[in-house]
Amino acid sequence: MRRDSRILAFKLIFERLFNSQPFDEELWQEIKDKDKPFAEQIFEQYQLHKTQIQQKLSSLLVGYSLDRVHKVDLALLCEAITEIDFVKTPPAVAINEALEIAKIFSSAESPKFLNGVLSSVIKNNAKEGENV
């Protein structure tokens, strides 16, 4: 199931926010082989475009800086933006999946926060002519 892949990609991004060392193979063993390529694709695109993703987030966060965003939420935002902008997942799917994962791993307020930020991402992309 793709949600398993997204959860793994989220975990990898979360870990990368704190640690730049190579990953233990144990993380890759958490997911079924058939879903592993999708998780790898998301994570590879995140690694390639990390600076661009963080700059986009910084410009869209109202009243927050990246260092004030809860790290779980930050990882979920990065995962969803990676999917929307670089994996070309339909925005509604990427947002819905991020909100569902937030219900498992983050606070009760997180889905509302994530939805607001990711809606701004979609509006910004539309203004820039991306993903329209």
| CATH 3.50.50.60 for domain 2-128 | no
User: For residue 53, what are its two tokens?
Assistant: 């993703």
Map out the domains of the chain as residue ranges. 2-128
Helices (H), the chain: 2-18, 25-28, 36-60, 71-82, 91-105, 110-128
Rounded CA separation 51/55 (Å): 6
Residue-level pLDDT, tens digit, the chain, 132 residues: 688 889 988 988 998 888 777 666 666 666 666 678 898 899 999 999 999 999 999 999 878 788 899 999 999 999 999 999 999 999 999 999 999 999 999 999 999 999 999 999 999 999 888 544
pTM: 0.87
Q: What is the CA radius of gyration of the chain?
A: 14
Secondary element (H or E) of residue 40: helix 36-60
